[in-house]
């Protein structure tokens, strides 16, 4: 019995039951499902293709900015000894922070089209301040002169990163991180965010009179000094005059957290931003009613005019290479390598961890446009050195914007504009209570930590490095150091289990590099 042949077209292509060529039908179906991009924002950032809207992206950008707005004042405080080196230098670093953050973030928006935001990295800025103080001792110059010398290190670091990014060397370093370790970076950063939210973000000081003089005590932290106290009475005794404010901060933080969870449960876009706004309002109202203080009192004498003259006089294009050469080339090379290692792995860790949460990684654990994202980081660092701030890097707080729905560069663009706007409205950004940002950090950290389920718990070469990394990041406060310990652990375990062929030459090199960094004192 002969079989019936499917109807053929002139070209011999098979047809469906309607007599239409299957290739033609597929072509028509493809055309029907093709995304038609309309409007400049959609064409620039491919909003529809990424399953998002302009409104969602803008809310995500505002969310990220609010969670990291603290850096605007904290960075100049750390780099200038909380203003002890002169108000003009503080003003210069303040403007440099806003400008460099905006430039790096704009590059991320247009080059990589990713929802990640940049600013001078925490930890790196403290290290930079320490280096500057050491240069003062070595050279006998003023802090401002040493600051300009130290900026040369940041400039060289940025140029090195641009070269490494252009030639895909940084991408190869990302690829050398084993998949299991890459999958564990997100949960490790999540625990780090929770530690910041519960541990160090809310810090208060108490004052008491000793021998007729007012003495400041602190800082006191929510987890250590409030929740960690044996009883409420012992917490009150420890905190002293800061006890009532700590209670308000903790209540505001928890109310904000639960509100965010409730809104997220109802699938409300912008839950993090709305929760932060609501908890801020609660904090401001309680401050006025319970403590009889004006929560906006700092705005009364605030200046909204950017101090550009101070920046021009102190930090803008003030690299001192002549003085820098007097430090000694061995010291210079050591410092540049140290900054490069810390910044490189901090940035890689943040990008991979946040992209993992946003489902931006492919099946091999790689992020598309990683090269452009790393190049944006390098450009931001060069801009920071020329304007007057320490290394610019991708912030882990970008995860809050991702959780708010941010998927494209429009999120970064929004946050970048907010940094520029902050040159004029910095006093307003400064009144956002730390407890409100803590709620967002705890929530986002919890979600990122949940990605631990992607780890193969039956594979010791995965779970042991990841467990060490998850603990190391929040304890050390360094993403890069956490990744370094995980790489060392992975390499040693693979060697001890006879699976040395699984280790790439670059992974060997990176593990050796971190071993030298941790154990060789120069």
- Domain's final residue, options 247, 268, 299: 299
And the tokens for 461? 């070469």
SS3 content of the chain, % helix, strand, coil (to 5): 70, 5, 25
Domain for residue 11, yes or no? no
Cα–Cα distance, 424 to 309 (Å, whole number) = 14
- How many Å apart are CA 97 and CA 486, to the nearest integer? 32
Same domain, 347 and 457: yes
- Measured CA to CA, the distance from residue 175 to residue 506 in angstroms comes to 9
State the total domains in the chain: 2
Which residue, among 286, 377, 384, 341, has the nearest Cα to 480 in the 3D structure? 341
Q: Which residues contact 321 (CB under 8 A, 6 or more apart)?
A: 152
- What are the tokens at 103? 């430039």
pLDDT in tens, the chain (522 residues): 444 444 444 444 444 444 444 444 444 444 445 567 778 999 999 999 999 999 999 999 999 998 888 888 889 988 998 778 888 999 999 999 999 999 999 999 999 999 999 999 877 888 888 889 889 988 889 999 999 999 999 999 999 999 999 998 888 888 888 888 888 888 888 888 888 888 877 888 888 777 777 788 888 998 999 999 999 999 999 999 899 999 999 999 999 999 999 998 988 877 888 888 899 999 999 999 999 999 988 788 777 888 899 999 999 999 999 888 888 787 788 788 878 888 888 888 888 888 887 788 887 778 888 999 999 999 999 999 999 999 999 888 898 899 889 999 999 999 999 999 989 877 877 788 888 888 888 888 888 887 788 888 898 999 999 999 999 988 888 888 888 999 999 999 999 999 988 999 999 998 998 998 888 876
Q: Is residue 38 part of a domain?
A: no
Q: Residue 385 and residue 124: Cα distance in Å, rounded?
A: 13
Q: How far apart are CA 40 and CA 59, in angstroms?
A: 19
In the numeric block, which tokens belong to residue 257? 């957290």
Length of the chain: 522
Same domain, 325 and 474: yes
168 shares its domain with 253: no
Q: Which two tokens stand for residue 295?
A: 């929560």
Calculate ∠ Cα 57-60-63, nearest 5°: 155
Residues 237 and 95 in one domain: no
Domain assignment present for 28: no
Q: Is residue 10 part of a domain?
A: no
The boundaries of the domain holding residue 472 are 44-198+302-519
The packing angle between helices 479-496 and 460-476, to 10°, is 150
Predicted pLDDT at 383? 96
Q: Which residue has the tokens 């605007």?
A: 72
Whole-number Å distance between alpha carbons of 175 and 126 = 30
Closest CA to 429 of 98, 118, 104: 98
Question: What is the reported pLDDT for 3?
Answer: 46
CA angle 188, 190, 192 (to 5 degrees): 70
Residues 495, 361 within the same domain:
yes
Which of 282, 299, 316 marks a domain boundary? 299
In a domain, 9, yes or no: no
| Start-to-end CA span in the chain (Å) | 87
- Can you tell me which residue has the tokens 């209670």? 247
Name the strand (E) or helix (H) holding 260. Answer: helix 243-265
φ/ψ region of 120 (left if φ > 0, alpha if ψ in -120 to 50, else beta) reads beta
What is the H or E stretch that residue 490 is in?
A: helix 479-496
* Region for 339 from its dihedrals, namely left if φ exceeds 0, alpha if ψ lies in -120 to 50, beta otherwise: alpha
Token reading at 271: 């839950």
CA atoms within 13 A on the CB side of 345: 28
Q: Which residue has 């120069």 as its token pair? A: 522
d(CA 472, CA 486): 9
In terms of domains, do 295 and 330 share one?
Answer: no
**How far, in Å, CA of 66 to CA of 400, rounded?**
10
280 and 368 inside one domain: no
Query: Are 288 and 336 in a shared domain?
Result: no
Residues 378 and 501 in one domain: yes
If asked whether residues 505 and 360 sit together in one domain, one would say: yes
d(CA 262, CA 55): 21
Asked if residue 496 and residue 450 are part of one domain, the reply reads yes
> Is 283 a domain residue?
yes
* 424 lies in some domain: yes
Rg (CA), the chain: 26
CB 480 within 8 A of CB 346: yes
Give the integer Cα–Cα distance in Å for 144 and 132.
Answer: 9
Domain shared by 83 and 215, yes or no: no
CA pair distance 425, 142, nearest whole angstrom: 31
Q: Which ranges of 363-478 would DSSP assign to H, the alpha helix?
A: 370-387, 398-403, 409-429, 434-449, 460-476
Q: 206 has which bridge partners?
A: 217
């Amino acid at each position: 019995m002969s079989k019936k042949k499917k109807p053929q077209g002139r070209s011999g292509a098979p047809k469906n039951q309607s007599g239409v060529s299957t290739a033609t039908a597929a072509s028509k179906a493809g055309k029907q499902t093709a995304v038609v991009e309309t409007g400049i924002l959609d064409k620039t950032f491919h909003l529809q293709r990424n399953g998002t809207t302009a409104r969602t992206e803008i809310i995500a950008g505002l969310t990220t900015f609010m969670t990291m707005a603290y850096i605007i004042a904290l960075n100049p405080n750390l780099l200038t000894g909380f203003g002890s080196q002169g108000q003009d230098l503080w003003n210069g670093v303040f403007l440099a922070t806003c400008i460099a953050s905006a430039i790096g973030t704009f590059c991320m928006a247009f080059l990589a089209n990713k929802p990640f935001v940049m600013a001078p990295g925490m930890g790196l800025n403290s290290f930079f301040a320490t280096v500057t103080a050491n240069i003062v001792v070595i050279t006998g110059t003023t802090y401002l002169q040493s600051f300009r010398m130290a900026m040369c290190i940041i400039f060289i670091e940025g140029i090195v990163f641009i070269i490494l990014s252009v030639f895909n060397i940084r991408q190869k370093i990302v690829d050398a991180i084993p998949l299991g370790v890459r999958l564990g970076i997100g949960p490790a950063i999540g625990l780090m965010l929770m530690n910041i939210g519960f541990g160090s973000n809310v810090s208060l000081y108490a004052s008491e009179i000793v021998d007729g003089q007012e003495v400041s005590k602190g800082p006191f932290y929510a987890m250590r000094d409030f929740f960690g106290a044996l009883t409420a009475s012992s917490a009150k005794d420890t905190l002293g005059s800061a006890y009532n404010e700590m209670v308000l901060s903790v209540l505001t933080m928890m109310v904000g957290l639960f509100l965010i969870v409730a809104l997220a449960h109802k699938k409300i876009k912008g839950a993090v931003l709305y929760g932060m706004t609501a908890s801020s309002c609660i904090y401001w109202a309680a401050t006025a009613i319970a403590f009889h203080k004006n929560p906006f009192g700092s705005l009364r004498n605030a200046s909204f005019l950017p101090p550009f003259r101070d920046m021009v006089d102190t930090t803008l294009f003030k690299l001192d290479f002549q003085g820098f050469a007097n430090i000694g080339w061995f010291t210079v090379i050591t410092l540049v390598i140290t900054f490069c290692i810390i910044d490189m792995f901090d940035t890689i860790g943040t990008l991979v961890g946040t992209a993992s949460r946003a489902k931006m990684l492919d099946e091999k654990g790689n992020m598309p446009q990683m090269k452009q994202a790393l190049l944006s980081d390098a450009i931001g660092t060069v801009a920071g050195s020329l304007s007057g701030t320490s290394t610019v890097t991708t912030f882990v707080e970008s995860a809050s914007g991702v959780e708010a729905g941010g998927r494209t560069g429009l999120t970064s663009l929004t946050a970048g504009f907010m940094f520029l706007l902050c040159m004029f409205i910095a006093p307003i950004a400064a009144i956002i209570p730390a407890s409100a940002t803590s709620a967002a950090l705890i929530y986002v950290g919890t979600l990122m930590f949940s990605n631990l389920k992607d780890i193969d718990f039956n594979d010791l070469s995965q779970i042991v490095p990841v467990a060490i990394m998850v603990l190391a990041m929040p304890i050390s406060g360094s993403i890069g150091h956490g990744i370094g310990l995980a790489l060392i652990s992975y390499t040693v375990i693979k060697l001890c289990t006879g699976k040395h062929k699984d280790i790439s030459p670059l992974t060997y090199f990176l593990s050796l590099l971190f071993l030298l960094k941790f154990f060789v004192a120069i």
